[in-house]
Amino acid sequence: MTANYFLSLSIWLPILAGVVVLVTGSPKNSGCTTRWIALVGAVLGFAVTVPLYLYFSNDTASMQFVEMAPWIPAFNINYHLGIDGISLWFVLLNSFMTLLVVIAGWVVIEKRLAQYMAAFLIMSGLINGVFAALDAILFYVFFEAMLIPMFLIIGVWGGPRRVYAAIKFFLYTLLGSLLMLAAFIYLYFEAGGSFEIIKFQILPLPLGVQVLIFLAFFMSFAVKVPMWPLHTWLPDAHVEAPTGGSVILAAITLKIGAYGFLRFNLPITPDASHALSGFIIALSLIAVVYIGLVALVQNDMKKLVAYSSIAHMGFVTLGFFMFNPMGVEGGLLQMISHGFISGAMFLCIGVLYDRMHSRQISDYGGVVNTMPTFAAFFMLFAMANAGLPGTSGFIGEFIVILSAIQVNFWYAALAATTLIFGAAYTLWMYKRVVFGAVANPHVAELKDINKRETLFLALLAILVLAMGLYPKPFTDTMHATVQQLIEQTSVPKY
């Protein structure tokens, strides 16, 4: 197809909108202009990603919508963009979730509204850059740059322990990525002076080197996913982050870690991936079982959903390291679906928090009596979180379990315990928060969701159901890329 700039637009348009919001937003205007500029920016930002799906060709595994321009010629660093069946959905998902976050923050954010909106818009562009970058340094720059807005979002608009959480988040993710940078520089010299990720993928590397590079990447991505035992920053970050921050953190940022495994670990170090798969599988299953049990005893709704996110991401890494197309596609489906569901869960908790200023489960009870419409939406998302068929939450888990059972029955059996744990922690929380008689005068005064809140919950509800009932369009775009990836990983490189 002819040259186009949809990827560049999807990166720079939100960033530009963010800058405009920042410049025009001042304490003088009431915030109304700021909101509308932010909304227009977010809508346009999402609109330019839609052609990516419409014009995407399912038949090829090669990169599409490629853009290439020299950036730092001295080191052969290029502004090289492109997407394939793996990255396509995350650009769309990210731009869409940003739109929802803008709507969700409409009247809720009272201090520094312009900066808040700008941070999300700029972050949205940077994250699209992460998914679209084909040059390792470009990837690295986007990867690091997106930490800054998130750091600010937690640190400025966060809860009482926001500084601890923000620094913990920042240090954790930064430490990992420094090792990744070292690996990039090594690969640069091996590849004869190129930072092209595609060239990295075809480099022959001895097993010992592969293991080291694998571990360097692992440190960077396992923190992001996050995988046990590198996960403890996530509950803290979620609890302190404002609703929008939690939504993007859970729905998008975690996916970057998993994406990294697919883009870097599996194709660049396939033999090390095979050699260390037992280790990754063990960590993934610990995530499902251990974290599932920990989620059960949480008293804070956000912490509970944060732990549940870790457990759900365990399925993603489990699927990837089954080394069959089904596992990878199952993992990808789980990532997309988790984007919708975790986003929805955090938005639901946000709706409650805006009214009650508490996330403690014990402060609630009988919400259904005063907020029936909300309760219905929350039920749908809770069921999706518990992996009910017909919702998107089912597909990923189901396909990963089907793929794991081909490798080892017990992998699947342990992973499938999520049927019980996932239902137990989600529905037990739901029961304590929503069902029952009105627990206290605060609950008695609750107002049901307004039109704005109904809008973003309904959009997510439609997506959760649509994907659950007809996931084929999603997998259709993945087959070619995933097939090539599996072929790459099955051929020894040394």
Residues that bind other proteins (CB under 8 A): 168, 229, 232, 290, 293-298, 324-326, 329-330, 366, 368-369, 379, 383, 388-390, 394-395, 398-399, 401-402, 404-406, 409-410, 412-413, 416-417, 419-420, 423-424, 427-428, 431, 434-437, 469-472, 475-476, 479
Smallest distance, Å, CB 252 to other proteins?
24
Residue 282 or 423 with smaller CB distance to other proteins: 423
CB of 365 to other proteins, least distance (A): 10
For 16-36, letters b (16+ CB in 10 Å) and e give: bbbebbbeebeeeeebeebbe
Q: Smaller CB distance to other proteins: residue 19 or 402?
A: 402
CB of 312 to other proteins, least distance (A): 16
- Beta carbon nearer to other proteins, 141 or 402: 402
Q: How far is the CB of 429 from other proteins (least distance, A)?
A: 11
**Shortest reach from residue 479's CB to other proteins, in Å:** 7
Residue 329 CB, shortest distance to other proteins, in Å, is 5
Please report how close the Cβ of residue 475 comes to other proteins at its closest, in angstroms: 5
Q: Given the complex with other proteins, which of 155 and 330 has the nearer CB atom? A: 330
Compare residues 148 and 293 and give the one whose CB is closer to other proteins. 293
